[in-house]
Amino acid sequence: MKLYTFFRSSASYRVRIALNLKGLTYEQAPIHLRRGGGEQLSAAYKAINPQALVPTLEDNGKVLTQSLAIIEYLEEKHPSPPLLPKEPADKALVRSMAMVIACEVHPIQNLRVLNYVKKEYNQTDEQVNRWAQQWIDLGLSALEQMIVAQPKRGKYCFGDAPTLADICLVPQLGNARRYGCDLSLYPNILAIEKDCMALPAFVNAAPEKQPDAE
Ligand SMILES: N[C@@H](CCC(=O)N[C@@H](CS)C(=O)NCC(=O)O)C(=O)O
């Protein structure tokens, strides 16, 4: 398998964690999101991923995009260890936690959105960071409440094994710190992050461990 990735990309980080949790080996094809205006915008990469976003996974000639779709593909092809609970309501809960991050928070603090806000509306770096903080805080505070309220509270977002929810949460916390969010407001999330970062699958997927890290 080949993963088109960028070390600091949180969506790529999600897929790296999932691959590691499942014990799958893969090669990395780094796509630098800033160099030369962004390698994701090259014609060669857009031919692979028309959205010009990372990650993309190639597996036996199949080209897969969108981190959640990629992770669900890995889950179906390599069910062990499971990244989703079996019971339908539990599965829906874990997916909903993942989607708080992947569908509501991450898309509106993504590089191209922040660049657009900055240039088109003539905003300073501080104002752009404030924009990112606003949406990250809204999502994390909802997720903190969801974690506390759910019936199977354990070490992770759901229960005592890492799931898709943790896979989305941990990379987002790196972005939250980068934009100056006050994470002390989310003690349950911070405790989950600590437990995740005790696992080699999370540690080895971290941005600073990647071959393209700067
Ligand atoms: N929903 C997509 C999001 C992918 C995405 O936004 N990737 C970012 C990096 S985390 C990217 O490639 N950004 C490039 C840009 O904004 O130009 C997924 O989950 O894969």
User: Quick check: CB of 54 below 6 Å from ligand 1?
Assistant: yes
Helix, strand, or coil (residue 12): helix
Ligand 1 centroid – CA 23 distance (Å):
24
68-111: pLDDT as tens digits? 999 999 999 999 999 999 999 999 999 999 999 999 999 999 99
Single-letter amino acid, residue 210 = Q
Which atom of ligand 1 lies closest to the CA of 68? 19
For residue 27, what pLDDT is reported? 98
| Residue nearest ligand 1's atom 9 by CA | 9
What is the pLDDT of the chain when averaged over all its residues?
A: 97
Measured from the CA of 115, which atom of ligand 1 is nearest? Answer: 16
Ligand 1 atom closest to the Cα of residue 53 is: 12
Cα–ligand 1 centroid distance for 199 (angstroms): 25
Torsion angle in degrees (nearest 10) through CA of 196, 198, 192, 103: -20
In tens, the pLDDT along 23-71 reads 999 999 999 999 999 999 999 999 999 999 999 999 999 999 999 999 9
Atom 14 of ligand 1, residue of closest alpha carbon: 53
What is the best residue among 48, 49, 111 to mutate for testing ligand 1's pocket, by most ligand atoms within 8 Å of CB? Answer: 111
Ligand 1 in reach of 21 Cβ (< 6 A):
no
CA 9 to centroid of ligand 1, rounded, Å:
7
Query: Atom 13, ligand 1: which residue's CA is nearest?
Result: 53
**What is the distance in A from the centroid of ligand 1 to the CA of 4?**
11
- pLDDT confidence of residue 151: 83
Model pLDDT, residue 144: 98
102 CB-near residues (< 8 Å, 6+ apart) = 11, 14, 67, 68, 168
What is the C-alpha separation between 132 and 113, in angstroms, rounded? 10
Model confidence pLDDT, tens digit, residues 150-205 = 888 899 999 999 999 999 999 999 999 999 999 999 999 999 999 999 999 999 99
Q: Which residues contact 131 (CB under 8 A, 6 or more apart)?
A: 108, 109, 114, 117, 123
